[in-house]
Amino acid sequence: MKVLVPVKRVIDYNVKVRVKPDQSGVDLANVKMSMNPFDEIATEEAVRLKEKGVVTEIVVVSIGPQQAQETIRTALAMGADRGILITVDSIVEPLAVAKLLKAVIAEEQPQLVLMGKQAIDDDNNATGQMLAALLGWPQATFASKIEVAGESLHVTREVDGGLQTLSADLPAVVTVDLRLNEPRYASLPNIMKAKKKPIDIKSAADYGVDVAPRLKSIKVSEPPKRAGGIKVETVADLVAKLKTEAGVL
Amino acid sequence: MAVLVIADHDNSTVRDTTNKTITAALAVSPEVDVLVLGEGAASAADAAAKIAGVRKVLLAQSPELGRLLAEAVADVVVPLMEGYDALLTPATAAGKNVSPRIAALLDVMQISDVIEVVDANTFVRPIYAGNALETVQSSDTKKVITVRPTTFKAAPEGGSATVETIAAKPAAAHQAKFVSDEVVKSDRPELSAAKIVVSGGRALGSAEEFHKVMDPLADKLGAAVGASRAAVDAGYAPNDYQVGQTGKVVAPALYIAIGISGAIQHLAGMKDSKTIVAINKDPDAPIFQVADYGLVADYKTAVPELMAELEKV
């Protein structure tokens, strides 16, 4: 079975984000970039399925600037087989990403798409669901457990108030949540090996997809700051303040 | 231009998140209809009809809709959207699952997690874990929106809308099927609706300790229990306890963070709480920068003391 794993290059999750003074966006100059953490989990799951003999080939796709090649290399070092980079210079929204991925899927014919539930930059949580819709495939979002049995999947999902298990016939789109696995660190030999793995470089125009954004960014502003409070010395102080000052007890 | 709200409900009544999403919808248009999807959900439809400002309630029922399967929900909603200019869904796990599927089928870019309606085309939403707020203007003719309920007031009761039953579509062949549910039954309030939330972090050290410390405190306060991503990652707490960028967003009257350092992604989920209390033995923990009341102490001594003090209240 062939698996497609879309990966996104985003600001590293440890970096403190700063809004530009002119409110045109956030400052990404000289900031550490990494693979979206949820996409790492998706890559890890694909590699584990390959190690179990369920998956035969893992194709990684990234849509973004030239530097997104580094993100693809990270996935290749984790164990993916080859990469496709679709270069775009401007912001691409989840709807356009889903359309590009659909075009890639028409060529690659994977049985399964494994992807992160959300990118930690735009926080949309939309691409996987949109892709499943455009393909007319079943979707299983927010997966915490994935089992492949022949031509079907069992996916346990994180839902409001607990877990839900779905079954779906392949092909299908699965988006992954935090608890699915803990991604590995690539070893040095694997990082070296990854440098020799192939990456195809394409452009959005190669797929005939219109990537013009539907949402116009009017401004990006700082959220209102929460004024810091006080330190209390004892638990008795704390409870007294909650009762009289805050009035919440 | 009429707008449609997908209700969040438990079959017998609608959840507070629905009332809040209706408030957001009323800022888009005065003509708000509510769609109740489920199985055995007639009482929830009646409850939705009593919310002030609701013009009409639509009720569609089938086993697949009862499980809120995205494919079945989209099959009902997409044709309905011919009569509406916008769709608003609460940004719960269920809402986040179904809404983008509908958006793509309508060829619309979803506006996710809206915290403010500026006008019918312009919305404010948090990005980068809430470290920035983006104002976006949509050029799509129809809008598909998920609403972060915590930032809107709940629409009150006081309506008397009619309930109209509409047909569910027969299940399509190639779609996901329901297998089982594992829902944690609890007498505590729901995390996203609770007035008081007590959250535990990695400092608690084990799942056993987490429950031993947090559960009695929650019960004493009538609170819901939350957890940081670190505590969830470490397996101390289930994922549906998670408060933060990738979990639930809460804004209770009182939020008590115990043994939580206050990573950016956790703050994203709780910094709109009215009063924040932090108990942490590290005086430099970032959580103290957002806490109204900080207590530098080991939870092992502070929580039992807190239980004793609450006894006196």
- CA-to-CA distance for A209 and A97, rounded, in angstroms? 9
| Domain stops at, among B165, B180, B215 | B165
Q: Which domain holds residue A126?
A: 2-244
CB within 8 Å: A223 and B111: no
**Given this model, what pLDDT does residue B171 score?**
78
Surface of A (192-221) touching B: CB under 8 A: 213-221
A44 touches chain B (CB under 8 A): no
Structure tokens at B313: 């209240």
Tally of domains in chain B: 2
Domain harbouring A185, CATH code: 3.40.50.620
Chain B hits for A218, CB-CB cut-off 8 Å, are: 122, 135-137
User: Is there a domain that residue A157 lies in?
Assistant: yes
Tell me the DSSP string of A134-157.
HHT--EEEEEEEEEEETTEEEEEE
Give yes or no for a contact between A1 and A54, defined as CB atoms under 8 angstroms apart. yes
CB within 8 Å: B174 and A142: no
Let me know whether B14 and B158 are in one domain. yes
Residues of chain A with pLDDT under 50: none
Q: What is the pLDDT along chain B (313 residues), one digit of tens a residue?
A: 899 999 999 999 999 999 999 999 999 999 999 999 999 999 999 999 999 999 999 999 999 999 999 999 999 999 999 999 999 999 999 999 999 999 999 999 999 999 999 999 999 999 999 999 999 999 999 999 999 998 999 999 999 999 999 998 887 778 999 999 998 778 899 898 899 999 999 999 999 999 999 999 999 999 999 999 999 989 999 888 999 988 899 999 999 999 999 998 899 999 989 999 999 999 999 999 999 999 999 999 999 999 999 998 7
Q: Name the residue among B71, B196, B229 with its Cβ closest to that of A138.
A: B71
Let me know whether B116 and B228 are in one domain. no
User: Is there a domain that residue A64 lies in?
Assistant: yes
**Given this model, what pLDDT does residue B246 score?**
85
Q: Which domain holds residue B307?
A: 196-312
Task: Assess whether the previous peptide bond of A171 is cis (omega < 30° from 0).
Answer: yes
- CA-to-CA distance for B255 and B196, rounded, in angstroms? 6
User: Is there a domain that residue A46 lies in?
Assistant: yes
Stated pTM of the model: 0.93
User: Is there a domain that residue B103 lies in?
Assistant: yes
User: Is there a domain that residue A249 lies in?
Assistant: no
Let me know whether B101 and B207 are in one domain. no
Give yes or no for a contact between A100 and A204, defined as CB atoms under 8 angstroms apart. yes
**Closest CA relative to residue B245, chosen from A121, A8, A221, A16:** A121
CB within 8 Å: A235 and B302: yes
Chain B hits for A143, CB-CB cut-off 8 Å, are: none
**Closest CA relative to residue A24, chosen from B126, B112, B134, B130:** B134
Q: Where are the beta strands (DSSP E) in B108-195?
A: 111-114, 116-119, 122-127, 132-138, 143-147, 162-165, 177-183
Work out whether strand A82-87 and strand A57-64 pair parallel, antiparallel, or are unpaired: parallel
Let me know whether B117 and B213 are in one domain. no
User: Is there a domain that residue B184 lies in?
Assistant: no
User: Is there a domain that residue A69 lies in?
Assistant: yes
User: Is there a domain that residue A178 lies in?
Assistant: yes
- CA-to-CA distance for B66 and B59, rounded, in angstroms? 12
Let me know whether B23 and B105 are in one domain. yes
- CA-to-CA distance for A114 and A129, rounded, in angstroms? 12
Chain A hits for B233, CB-CB cut-off 8 Å, are: 178-179
Let me know whether B159 and B202 are in one domain. no
Q: How far is A236 from chain B (nearest CA, A)?
A: 6
Chain B hits for A214, CB-CB cut-off 8 Å, are: 108-109, 138-140
Q: Across the beta sheet with B293-296, what order do the strands follow?
A: A230-232, B293-296, B275-280, B254-258, B196-200, B224-227
